[in-house]
Amino acid sequence: MADASIALNRFGLGGRPGDDPGANPRQWLAAQLQRYEPRPQQIAVLPPTSQIAAELADYFEELRQARPQNPGRRQRGPARAKPAMPDSMQSVPGQEMSEKPMAGEAMKERERANDPAAQVRRFARRQAREHYAVAVGARATVALTSPAPFAERLVHFWANHFAVSADKLQVIGLAGAFEFEAIRPHVMGKFGDMLHAVERHPGMLLYLDQAQSIGPNSMTGQIAQRRRAGGNNLPGLNENLAREILELHTLGVRTGYGQSDVTEFARAMTGWTVAGLGRGRGARFAGTDGEPGRFVFAERLHEPGMRTILGKRWTQQGEGQAAAVLDMLATHPATARHIATKLARHFAGDEPPPALVAQLESAFLKSGGDLPTLYRVLIDAPECWAPQPVKFKSPWEWSISAMRALGAEQLQANAANGLLTQLGQPVWRPGSPAGWDDVAAAWAGPDAVMRRVEAAERMAQRTRDTIDARRRATQLFPGALSDTTAQAIARAESPGQGVALMLVAPEFMRR
Amino acid sequence: MLNRRNFVALGAGAIFTSTLGAKMTFASAATTKRFVFIIQRGAADGLGTIAPVGDPGFVSQRGALAEDFASAAKLDSMFALHPGMTTVAGLYQAKQALFVHAVASPYRDRSHFDGQNVLETGGTSAYALKDGWLNRLLSLLPREDKAIALAATVPMALRGPVEVASYAPSALPDATDDLLHRVASMYAGDPQLHGLWEQATATRMLTSDMAADNGRNAAATGDLAAKLLSAEGGARVAMIETGGWDTHAQQRARLGVQLRGLDGMIAALKAGLGPLWNDTMVLVATEFGRTVKVNGTGGTDHGTGSAAMLLGGAVNGGRVLADWPGLGDAALYEGRDLKPTMALDTLIASAVGSHFDLTGAQAAAKLFPNMQASRPIQDLVRA
């Protein structure tokens, strides 16, 4: 593959008509690091986290009101047993303690009007329509039109590294805001800053159950234990986020930490939560009241005491304890290796070249996790310019590059995500905190290829005869178009069929 | 199913949706003769359909696949028909079924797409011709009626200058067959995509196989084909696409239901055509055969020689035509496949030529322009 083609396709998101990396494709890529816009217009107009979280808070309040309260006011009602309920939110700090008993008749009426399962579905649909779909559209539009596609690819990379999944009710509306607020502003900054922003964002705190983690010996934990003596639904410690920070976000799996490190880190993390989702006395007591969606450190949820994590004593108190651990993790050699490996895999192939990993790792450590330093290593690395394609495109990459190739600038609502869902990669729904796999085996399946062919034909039909695929293909893959593809396109029975063939050509399936 | 308003609005080439399990294409020709081409996509196993039970190597070479024929009635001293094909067996008894064995198109490699392209275009190599032999046949027939259509797309065999209609059994939007073929040839040199594509299209073939809905779809297709062929001023030539013949694993059960489905389709076709059956010729053919030996998963892989059938009241049947090459290892093509000793294009040219009273040479030259000079096969139709 010629360098210009590699710059457009492997580093970028695929060419648009008129895109030209010029005589020096490396320079073209490096310039994008400056050109990057953290908050482009399409994103700036979207509702902020505070608004989305306020809706979430209203919803929890409705659920609370609907829940039967007999016999005791802290007894969980039948709604608790419904699997469709947002399980984790049932025990948001403050929520339990703010429940008020309702009069019998009023309660029954409420119950009828508010079948909990129906309520959940209604809310999920509304969040999906008003926030999720709109945010997906904005993400896709930015990817289609950005003058800095390499930088946008990096946004997608980091959002997948710090994956949240809208499979979880509370994340549906927040997934877009999470990427726009915690990832985008830090893509050209330090890894540690991104890490701190990510672990404090309500999208992550809710997704990985940190928001309701309570230190057993915290003030709230003690009260809860006294009040619910004998019950087996005690609110308490949740290790989910702490574990995933170690395993996925920083050090990487099997890098020398043990279960006690996870538990201790989870204790250190207690108190890191989301403000304003629970209302009433309990929230005020726990210190989780305030503007919905804001990060808050709730001292009264925090497990007091010193910690030992990764063989080190952590004597800080309060919020500073977990923050100090995060600082250490952000520049840890295992983190450097983990990040280096993932970046190398993304740009140089499923089996990341060891020399490139080592180079990135050392750049990470030397620069204290300065991300543009790593990007410049990638731009300069010969491994990233291997002439043969090194990656099989994910559905997101394929869809965006296909739409860019056709010169699309605007999308109908839901168009992008409808396509992505059909192709097997709905946006912000990887279904796991590990994010989507970044290897061909995840995407190069027979059915997946057939679906792309079907999608390509539908997309191409809409172009009618406005695009000459013979010319367009040479622009998209300068100096890198195979004779086979050129011939297949040239022999197409119609301009539209030529476009369809271009979109599923081997050149187009890979980067 | 056939919505008249849509039909009028869209005209020829319109796409309709039906619930049938196979794709059909019809063309009109002003003749009393009816011709149906049933294509078996996926390389049907001729040895598992018309078995050479008299060959000394049959049982040892076919292993478990030979068991289907343990008590099957013989057609002649060499061959037996799969016991699932009871209607076809009856046709054979009535001398309305003729089988041709160790037959192959000029294609000698083992790609479904290329093999089907050769079978349908009537060329000598894949993608050499741009139209199909069935369309070229239409150009030789008197044409009064416009062609009508009920398939997602016109299959390659019917493509060409003569306007042809088609009928779609499945909901859109599947990619068009033509695009799929072109993607196949574009991927031919790409090891990863080629392999994925073969699997993808094999899966797709299975989705319209003969066993769908316990064979009822296949019978319904035969029934519908009969209605359209017998309608006043209706189609005289039809092509029915069947899939599901790519039996790489567990062939015995799979091929059994496939053949029963095909048999049911033919039974429905015959019943629906009534007296017209006497003027009908049905050709059943596949792109190539399968390996002689059974593979490790109870199936067979892509091979070369296979079998074809001519069925119908117009056929001079009750015979198996074969210059039998034998199943001994030394007799196999490339050491693995049934060696083709008869040319499928000669068979087709001879059969449709005599069925439509075209002189053999004229039909052959038009249908298979690059065919090696060969003598037409005589006496294929009833005198």
Each residue's pLDDT tens digit, B165-185: 666 443 334 577 778 889 999
Res A225: pLDDT: 82
For each of chain A's 511 residues, which pLDDT tens digit applies?
699 999 999 999 999 999 999 999 999 999 999 999 999 999 999 999 999 999 999 998 888 887 665 444 444 433 332 222 233 333 333 332 233 344 555 555 555 566 777 888 899 999 999 999 999 999 999 999 999 999 999 999 999 999 999 989 999 999 999 999 999 999 999 999 999 999 999 999 999 999 989 999 999 999 888 876 655 556 789 899 999 999 999 999 889 999 999 999 999 999 999 999 988 888 888 899 999 999 999 999 999 999 999 999 999 999 999 999 999 999 999 999 999 999 999 999 999 999 999 999 999 999 999 999 999 999 999 999 999 999 999 999 999 999 999 999 888 778 888 899 889 899 999 988 999 999 998 898 887 898 899 999 999 988 878 899 999 999 999 999 999 999 999 988 888 899 999 999 999 999 9
Is the Cβ of A473 closer than 8 Å to some Cβ of chain B? no
pLDDT bracket for residue B156 (50, 70, 90): confident
In 3D space, the residue among B354, B23, B296, B285 whose CA is nearest the CA of residue B180 turns out to be B23
Residue of A453, A483, A494 best to disrupt the B interface, most CBs of B under 10 A: A453
Task: Give contacts of A 354-393 with B, CB under 8 A.
Answer: 392
What one-letter code names the amino acid at A434?
A
CB B142 within 8 A of CB B27: no
Tell me: pLDDT of B24 over 80.
no
Q: What is the pLDDT of residue B3?
A: 28
| Among candidate residues A154, A160, A190, A191, the one with its CA nearest the CA of residue A178 | A160
Both tokens of B329, joined, read 């290892």
Interface residue A458 vs chain B (CB under 8 A): yes
Residues of B in contact with A492 (CB under 8 A): 182
Cα–Cα distances (Å) from A27 to A4, A12, A22, in that order, read 11, 13, 9
pLDDT of residue A431: 82
Nearest to B123 by CA among B110, B138, B136: B136
User: Are A454 and B174 inside 8 Å of each other by CB?
Assistant: yes
Q: Give chain A positions within 8 Å (CB) of B173.
A: 454, 457-458
Contact state of B189 with A484 under an 8 Å Cβ cutoff: yes
Q: How many helices (H) and strands (E) does chain B have?
A: 12, 11
Segment (H or E) for A25: helix A25-35
The helix/strand/coil state of B6 is helix
Q: What is the CB neighbour count within 10 angstroms for residue B169?
A: 24
B195 φ/ψ angles, rounded to the nearest 5 degrees? -65, -45
Percent of chain A's residues with pLDDT above 90: 73
| DSSP label at residue A462 | H
Across the interface, of A446, A458, A485, the residue whose CB is closest to B186 is A485
Stretch B244-263: mean pLDDT, rounded? Answer: 89
Q: Are B20 and B240 in contact (CB under 8 A)?
A: no
Distance from CA of B174 to the nearest CA of A (A): 6
Question: For residue B148, what pLDDT is reported?
Answer: 47
Picking from B126-140, B165-179, B215-229, which range would have the lowest pLDDT averaged per residue? Answer: B165-179
**Residue A491: closest CA among chain B residues belongs to which residue?**
B182
Q: Would the CB atoms of A488 and B182 count as touching at under 8 Å? A: yes
Distance of CA B121 to the CA centre of its chain: 13
For the cut 90, the answer to whether the pLDDT of residue B368 exceeds it is: yes
Is A444 close to B196, i.e. CB distance below 8 A?
Answer: yes
Beta carbons of A506 and B187 less than 8 Å apart: yes
Using CB atoms within 10 Å of the CB of residue A455, give its burial: 0 to 12 exposed, 13 to 18 middle, 19+ buried. buried
A residues 398..457 contacting B (CB < 8 A): 440, 444-447, 449-450, 453-454, 456-457
Q: Write the CB contacts of A492 (distance below 8 Å, at least 6 apart in sequence).
A: A469, A498, A500, A501, B182
Half-sphere exposure of A312 toward its Cβ, with a 13 Å CA cutoff?
Answer: 12
Question: What six digits make up the tokens of A168?
Answer: 């979880």
Judge contact between B310 and B346, C-beta under 8 A. Answer: no
B175–A457 CB contact, under 8 Å: yes
Contacts of A445 in chain B (CB under 8 A): 196
CA distance, residue B185 to nearest chain A CA (Å): 8
Q: Three-state SS string across B296-361, please?
A: CCECCCECCCEEEEEECCCECCCEEECCCCCCCHHHCECCCECCCCEEHHHHHHHHHHHHCCCCHH
Model confidence at B215: pLDDT above 90 = no
Residues of chain B found within 8 Å of residue A449, distances taken between Cβ atoms:
193, 196-197, 200
Chain position carrying tokens 């083709």:
B340
Neighbours of B358 (CB within 10 A): 18
Q: How confident is the model at residue B205 (pLDDT cuts 50, 70, 90)?
A: low
Q: Hey, is B101 helix, strand or coil?
A: strand
Asked if B370 and B105 touch (Cβ cutoff 8 Å), the reply is no
Mean predicted confidence (pLDDT) in B74-88: 97
Beta strand residue intervals within B79-120, DSSP E? 80-81, 97-104
Give the span between the Cα atoms of A453 and A400, in whole angstroms. 15
- Which among B198, B166, B207 is positioned nearest to B23, based on CA atoms? B166
Six-digit token string for A278: 């629970």
**At what angle are helices B133-140 and B344-355 packed, to 10 degrees?**
20
Distance CA B305, CA B347 (A): 14
**Model pLDDT, residue B169:** 47
What residues of chain B have any CB closer than 8 angstroms to a CB in chain A?
173-176, 178-180, 182-183, 185-190, 192-193, 196-197, 199-201, 203-204
Q: Report the alpha-carbon distance of residue A67 to residue A90 in Å, rounded.
A: 11
Of the partner residues B183, B185, B189, the one whose CB lies closest to the CB of residue A453: B183
The predicted model scores a pTM of 0.66
* B199 chain-A contacts, CB cut-off 8 A: 446
Cα separations (Å) of B344 from B102, B195, B310, B348? 9, 28, 12, 6
CB B292 within 8 A of CB B251: no
- Look at B263 and A254; give whichever has higher pLDDT: B263
CB contact under 8 A, A444 and B192: yes
Q: Do A453 and B193 touch (CB under 8 A)?
A: no
Distances (CA, A) of A135 to A55, A140, A327, A375, A409: 16, 9, 31, 26, 16
Q: Which amino acid is at A151?
A: A
The helix (H) or strand (E) run that includes residue B241 is: strand B237-242
- Confirm or reject contact between A223 and chain B (CB < 8 A): no
B342, β-bridge pairs: B103
pLDDT at B360 over 80: no
Yes or no, beta carbons of A444 and B182 under 8 Å apart:
no
A114-153 residue pLDDT tens: 677 788 889 999 999 999 999 999 999 999 999 999 999 9
Interface predicted TM-score (ipTM): 0.85
